[in-house]
Structure 1
Amino acid sequence: MAKNTHSAISNETVEEAQQIANKIQKPGQTKEQTRLIAQGIQKGIAEYKKSVKAKQRQADKEQKKQQKQKQQNTQPSEIEKPTEKTKNNPLPWILLVASWGLFATYLFLQK
Protein backbone atom coordinates (compact mmCIF):
# COMPACT_ATOMS: atom_id res chain seq x y z
CA MET A 1 0.00 0.00 0.00
CA ALA A 2 1.20 3.48 -0.80
CA LYS A 3 1.45 6.04 1.96
CA ASN A 4 -0.87 9.00 1.84
CA THR A 5 1.53 11.93 2.20
CA HIS A 6 -1.26 14.48 2.16
CA SER A 7 -2.40 13.53 5.67
CA ALA A 8 0.95 14.64 7.14
CA ILE A 9 1.16 17.77 5.01
CA SER A 10 -1.22 20.65 5.66
CA ASN A 11 -3.58 21.95 2.99
CA GLU A 12 -1.80 25.29 3.18
CA THR A 13 1.50 23.61 2.26
CA VAL A 14 -0.13 21.71 -0.61
CA GLU A 15 -1.60 24.94 -2.02
CA GLU A 16 1.68 26.77 -1.62
CA ALA A 17 3.59 23.98 -3.38
CA GLN A 18 1.06 23.93 -6.23
CA GLN A 19 1.36 27.70 -6.68
CA ILE A 20 5.15 27.48 -6.79
CA ALA A 21 5.01 24.58 -9.26
CA ASN A 22 2.64 26.56 -11.50
CA LYS A 23 4.92 29.63 -11.37
CA ILE A 24 7.98 27.66 -12.49
CA GLN A 25 6.07 25.61 -15.09
CA LYS A 26 7.80 25.59 -18.45
CA PRO A 27 6.03 25.61 -21.83
CA GLY A 28 5.15 22.10 -23.00
CA GLN A 29 5.25 20.68 -19.47
CA THR A 30 2.45 18.19 -18.78
CA LYS A 31 0.09 18.39 -15.83
CA GLU A 32 1.57 15.15 -14.51
CA GLN A 33 5.06 16.66 -14.52
CA THR A 34 3.75 19.75 -12.74
CA ARG A 35 2.03 17.55 -10.16
CA LEU A 36 5.27 15.64 -9.53
CA ILE A 37 7.16 18.91 -9.13
CA ALA A 38 4.49 20.12 -6.70
CA GLN A 39 4.88 16.89 -4.68
CA GLY A 40 8.64 17.41 -4.53
CA ILE A 41 8.11 20.96 -3.33
CA GLN A 42 5.62 19.71 -0.72
CA LYS A 43 8.18 17.26 0.59
CA GLY A 44 10.82 19.96 0.67
CA ILE A 45 8.55 22.32 2.61
CA ALA A 46 7.59 19.52 5.02
CA GLU A 47 11.25 18.64 5.61
CA TYR A 48 12.09 22.30 6.15
CA LYS A 49 9.28 22.68 8.68
CA LYS A 50 10.40 19.51 10.47
CA SER A 51 13.97 20.76 10.70
CA VAL A 52 12.83 24.17 11.97
CA LYS A 53 10.68 22.49 14.63
CA ALA A 54 13.57 20.21 15.63
CA LYS A 55 15.92 23.19 15.92
CA GLN A 56 13.33 25.07 17.95
CA ARG A 57 12.83 22.09 20.29
CA GLN A 58 16.59 21.77 20.70
CA ALA A 59 16.89 25.51 21.44
CA ASP A 60 14.06 25.25 23.99
CA LYS A 61 15.76 22.28 25.65
CA GLU A 62 19.04 24.19 25.79
CA GLN A 63 17.31 27.26 27.22
CA LYS A 64 15.55 25.18 29.89
CA LYS A 65 18.85 23.48 30.69
CA GLN A 66 20.55 26.85 31.12
CA GLN A 67 17.70 28.15 33.30
CA LYS A 68 17.85 25.03 35.45
CA GLN A 69 21.62 25.33 35.77
CA LYS A 70 21.33 29.03 36.64
CA GLN A 71 18.65 28.23 39.21
CA GLN A 72 20.83 25.54 40.77
CA ASN A 73 23.74 27.97 40.94
CA THR A 74 21.67 30.57 42.80
CA GLN A 75 20.04 28.15 45.26
CA PRO A 76 23.18 27.24 47.31
CA SER A 77 23.90 30.91 48.04
CA GLU A 78 20.32 31.35 49.25
CA ILE A 79 20.73 28.36 51.55
CA GLU A 80 24.00 29.71 52.96
CA LYS A 81 22.51 33.11 53.84
CA PRO A 82 20.08 31.84 56.51
CA THR A 83 22.88 29.91 58.22
CA GLU A 84 24.85 33.16 58.46
CA LYS A 85 21.83 34.92 59.96
CA THR A 86 21.42 32.24 62.64
CA LYS A 87 24.97 32.92 63.84
CA ASN A 88 24.77 33.68 67.56
CA ASN A 89 25.03 37.34 68.35
CA PRO A 90 26.02 38.00 72.01
CA LEU A 91 24.12 41.31 72.28
CA PRO A 92 20.66 39.82 72.93
CA TRP A 93 22.10 37.54 75.61
CA ILE A 94 23.91 40.44 77.27
CA LEU A 95 20.72 42.52 77.27
CA LEU A 96 18.72 39.60 78.69
CA VAL A 97 21.17 39.02 81.54
CA ALA A 98 21.39 42.77 82.25
CA SER A 99 17.60 43.15 82.36
CA TRP A 100 17.22 40.18 84.75
CA GLY A 101 20.05 41.58 86.87
CA LEU A 102 18.41 44.99 87.06
CA PHE A 103 15.05 43.37 87.85
CA ALA A 104 16.60 41.30 90.64
CA THR A 105 18.31 44.44 91.98
CA TYR A 106 15.01 46.32 91.93
CA LEU A 107 13.27 43.53 93.87
CA PHE A 108 16.11 43.33 96.37
CA LEU A 109 16.04 47.11 97.02
CA GLN A 110 12.25 47.05 97.50
CA LYS A 111 12.51 44.85 100.60
Structure 2
Amino acid sequence: MTKNSVSAQTEDQSLEIAKATQKPGQTKEQTKLIAKGIEKGIAEYKKRQKAKARDLDKKRKKLDAKQESLEQSANELNDDLLSAKQSKKQRTMQASDTGSPHYYTSFAYIMLILTLSWITFHMITVH
Protein backbone atom coordinates (compact mmCIF):
# COMPACT_ATOMS: atom_id res chain seq x y z
CA MET A 1 0.00 0.00 0.00
CA THR A 2 1.44 3.39 -0.90
CA LYS A 3 1.02 6.50 1.14
CA ASN A 4 -1.91 7.85 -0.91
CA SER A 5 -3.69 4.54 -1.53
CA VAL A 6 -6.90 3.75 0.26
CA SER A 7 -7.92 0.36 1.64
CA ALA A 8 -10.37 -1.80 -0.25
CA GLN A 9 -12.77 -1.55 2.67
CA THR A 10 -12.74 2.26 2.43
CA GLU A 11 -13.34 2.08 -1.32
CA ASP A 12 -16.30 -0.23 -0.79
CA GLN A 13 -17.75 2.00 1.92
CA SER A 14 -17.39 5.13 -0.20
CA LEU A 15 -18.99 3.46 -3.22
CA GLU A 16 -21.92 2.27 -1.06
CA ILE A 17 -22.40 5.79 0.29
CA ALA A 18 -22.20 7.27 -3.22
CA LYS A 19 -24.76 4.78 -4.56
CA ALA A 20 -27.06 5.36 -1.60
CA THR A 21 -27.09 9.12 -2.26
CA GLN A 22 -27.26 8.75 -6.07
CA LYS A 23 -29.73 11.10 -7.79
CA PRO A 24 -31.97 10.03 -10.64
CA GLY A 25 -30.24 10.56 -13.98
CA GLN A 26 -26.76 10.50 -12.45
CA THR A 27 -24.24 8.57 -14.56
CA LYS A 28 -21.92 5.84 -13.29
CA GLU A 29 -18.95 8.12 -13.91
CA GLN A 30 -20.46 10.83 -11.71
CA THR A 31 -21.15 8.26 -8.99
CA LYS A 32 -17.54 7.05 -9.20
CA LEU A 33 -16.29 10.65 -8.90
CA ILE A 34 -18.47 11.17 -5.84
CA ALA A 35 -17.13 7.89 -4.40
CA LYS A 36 -13.55 9.15 -4.97
CA GLY A 37 -14.38 12.35 -3.11
CA ILE A 38 -15.84 10.37 -0.23
CA GLU A 39 -12.68 8.20 -0.20
CA LYS A 40 -10.52 11.30 0.07
CA GLY A 41 -12.70 12.58 2.90
CA ILE A 42 -12.43 9.29 4.77
CA ALA A 43 -8.65 9.19 4.20
CA GLU A 44 -8.29 12.76 5.47
CA TYR A 45 -10.41 11.95 8.53
CA LYS A 46 -8.28 8.89 9.33
CA LYS A 47 -5.11 10.93 8.82
CA ARG A 48 -6.29 13.58 11.28
CA GLN A 49 -7.35 10.94 13.81
CA LYS A 50 -3.91 9.31 13.63
CA ALA A 51 -2.24 12.71 14.12
CA LYS A 52 -4.45 13.38 17.16
CA ALA A 53 -3.62 9.95 18.56
CA ARG A 54 0.11 10.62 18.11
CA ASP A 55 -0.18 13.99 19.84
CA LEU A 56 -2.14 12.48 22.73
CA ASP A 57 0.43 9.68 23.02
CA LYS A 58 3.26 12.23 23.18
CA LYS A 59 1.42 14.20 25.87
CA ARG A 60 0.71 11.01 27.82
CA LYS A 61 4.37 10.02 27.67
CA LYS A 62 5.40 13.49 28.90
CA LEU A 63 2.92 13.25 31.77
CA ASP A 64 4.15 9.76 32.63
CA ALA A 65 7.74 11.03 32.67
CA LYS A 66 6.74 13.97 34.91
CA GLN A 67 4.85 11.66 37.24
CA GLU A 68 7.81 9.30 37.42
CA SER A 69 10.10 12.23 38.14
CA LEU A 70 7.78 13.48 40.89
CA GLU A 71 7.58 10.02 42.43
CA GLN A 72 11.36 9.75 42.36
CA SER A 73 11.68 13.17 44.01
CA ALA A 74 9.14 12.18 46.66
CA ASN A 75 11.07 8.97 47.35
CA GLU A 76 14.31 10.94 47.67
CA LEU A 77 12.65 13.38 50.09
CA ASN A 78 11.31 10.49 52.15
CA ASP A 79 14.77 8.95 52.24
CA ASP A 80 16.27 12.30 53.31
CA LEU A 81 13.66 12.71 56.05
CA LEU A 82 14.25 9.17 57.26
CA SER A 83 18.01 9.66 57.39
CA ALA A 84 17.54 13.02 59.17
CA LYS A 85 15.33 11.35 61.79
CA GLN A 86 17.86 8.57 62.23
CA SER A 87 20.77 10.99 62.62
CA LYS A 88 18.77 13.05 65.13
CA LYS A 89 18.03 9.88 67.07
CA GLN A 90 21.72 8.96 67.00
CA ARG A 91 22.69 12.45 68.22
CA THR A 92 20.15 12.14 71.03
CA MET A 93 21.51 8.75 71.99
CA GLN A 94 25.09 10.05 71.88
CA ALA A 95 24.13 12.99 74.10
CA SER A 96 22.60 10.63 76.62
CA ASP A 97 25.70 8.42 76.53
CA THR A 98 27.93 11.27 77.77
CA GLY A 99 27.00 10.49 81.35
CA SER A 100 24.96 13.63 81.88
CA PRO A 101 22.10 11.92 83.74
CA HIS A 102 24.58 10.16 86.03
CA TYR A 103 26.20 13.48 86.83
CA TYR A 104 22.87 14.98 87.90
CA THR A 105 22.00 11.91 89.97
CA SER A 106 25.36 12.05 91.76
CA PHE A 107 24.98 15.77 92.32
CA ALA A 108 21.53 15.22 93.83
CA TYR A 109 22.86 12.57 96.23
CA ILE A 110 25.70 14.86 97.29
CA MET A 111 23.30 17.75 97.89
CA LEU A 112 20.99 15.42 99.89
CA ILE A 113 23.88 14.26 102.06
CA LEU A 114 25.08 17.83 102.62
CA THR A 115 21.56 18.96 103.51
CA LEU A 116 21.09 16.07 105.94
CA SER A 117 24.52 16.75 107.44
CA TRP A 118 23.74 20.41 107.88
CA ILE A 119 20.35 19.62 109.48
CA THR A 120 21.99 17.08 111.80
CA PHE A 121 24.78 19.49 112.72
CA HIS A 122 22.30 22.28 113.29
CA MET A 123 20.14 20.07 115.51
CA ILE A 124 23.14 18.98 117.57
CA THR A 125 24.44 22.50 118.11
CA VAL A 126 21.07 23.93 119.03
CA HIS A 127 20.37 21.39 121.79
Q: What TM-score do you get using the length of structure 2 for normalisation?
A: 0.63
**Structure 2 match to 1:103:** none
Residue identity over aligned pairs, in percent, reads 39
Specify every segment of 5 or more residues in structure 1 that has no aligned partner in the other structure, as ranges: 98-111
Higher RCO (CA 8 Å, separation ≥ 6 residues): 1
Rg (Cα) greater in structure: 2
CA deviations 1:56-84 (Å, max 9, x no partner) are: 11111111111211221221121122222
Number of residues of Structure 1 aligned to a counterpart in Structure 2? 95
- Report the residue type matching 1:9 in the other structure: V
Distance 2:77 2:52 in 1: 38
SS of match in other structure, 2:49:
helix
Specify every segment of 5 or more residues in structure 2 that has no aligned partner in the other structure, as ranges: 99-127
- For residue 50 of structure 1, the aligned residue among 41, 47, 50 is 47
Q: Report the alpha carbon displacement of residue 37 of structure 1 after superposing the two structures with TM.
A: 0.5
**Structure 2 match to 1:9:** 6
**Structure 2 match to 1:69:** 66
- For residue 78 of structure 2, the aligned residue among 75, 78, 81 is 81
Structure 1's consecutive aligned runs of 4 or more residues displaced over 3 angstroms after TM superposition are 4-7, 91-97
